[in-house]
Structure 1
Amino acid sequence: MQQADWDELKKQMSTPYGSMKLKCDDYEVDLVQMIESGKKSWGTTVYVDGYLKGIWLSCNHKTGETEHEETRRFYRKSERGLYKKKELEAYRKVFGKRDADKKAAQKFITYDWSWKNFNSLRKHLEANNTSIERLH
């Protein structure tokens, strides 16, 4: 895709209800702006070949290794600590700093089909797909 196409896509994605269709390698990808209920913000939802399949979100939650190619190519990786700060403080008091630091390093990894930041989405698409073209 040319820079002008990316600029047009960014312009469409800067307002709610914008959408665009892309061809990424062998996949047809729909980028649709959706307003989050209860919030005053919107995000870009990625439909692959016209679908949002929950099975595509399955992965190894410790390593982040995906089971499906669609997940790796188009969905946002999300990491968070396995334990809350309060739990870690209690663990530190009982078992010591070294064990608590090991627990703090453990992460829970998931994937999400919505993106808040257009630049992150663009960077992810360019890194994980060899050819991207705008369909309309």
Structure 2
Amino acid sequence: MEQADWDALKEQMASPWGSMKLKCDGFEIDLVQMTSPAKKSWSTTVYVDGYLKGVWLDCDHKTGEPKHEETRRFMRKVTRALHTKKDIEVYRKLFGKREATKREAVKFITYDWSWKSFNSLKKHLLANNTSITRITESDPDPTLH
């Protein structure tokens, strides 16, 4: 992808509207801006070959290893603490420092199809795909020939 295409994507992600199509190693990716009225924010949602499949978000929750190729290539890895800081303080009082530290180290790993940061999305796409091209509306569809 050329620098002008990356600049167009960055500009798109700076506003709550817009979409862009990419071809990444045989996958057709739709990057669509979605707004969240509850949070009063927006993010870029990644559709792979026109789909969002919940099964793609699944992974081995201990190692974080994705179970699907689409997950590895296009989804954002999310790591969260399994226990809240408030719970850790309670464990520290009830069971001691060692047990509280053990529980604090336990993390929950999943994947998400939305991105808020352009730099994170670009870095992830470049690291996990060898060929990235922008599909414009004027490009002829090679499947029709």
Tell me if both proteins adopt one fold, taking TM over 0.5 as the criterion. Answer: yes
Cα deviation 1:71-92 (Å, max 9, x = unaligned): 1110111111111111111111
What is the deviation of 1:22?
0.3
Secondary structure in 1 matching 2:87: helix
Unaligned runs of 5+ in 2: 137-145
Unaligned runs of 5+ in 1: none
Cα deviation 1:64-119 (Å, max 9, x = unaligned): 11110101110111111111111111111122112211111110011110111111
Secondary structure in 1 matching 2:90: helix
Equivalent positions of 1:1-136 (< 5 A) are 1-136=1-136
What is the deviation of 1:37?
2.8
What is the deviation of 1:55?
0.9
Consecutive aligned runs of 4 or more in structure 1 exceeding 6 Å deviation = none
Which amino acid counterpart does residue 119 of structure 1 have in structure 2? Answer: N
Q: How many residues align?
A: 136
Which amino acid counterpart does residue 98 of structure 1 have in structure 2? Answer: R
Counterpart CA distance in 2 for 1:73 and 1:34 is: 20
RMSD: 1.0
Counterpart CA distance in 2 for 1:2 and 1:52 is: 27
Counterpart CA distance in 2 for 1:8 and 1:117 is: 14
Counterpart CA distance in 2 for 1:72 and 1:112 is: 11
> Which structure has the larger Rg?
2
Q: Report the TM-score when normalising by structure 2.
A: 0.90
Counterpart CA distance in 1 for 2:93 and 2:12 is: 52
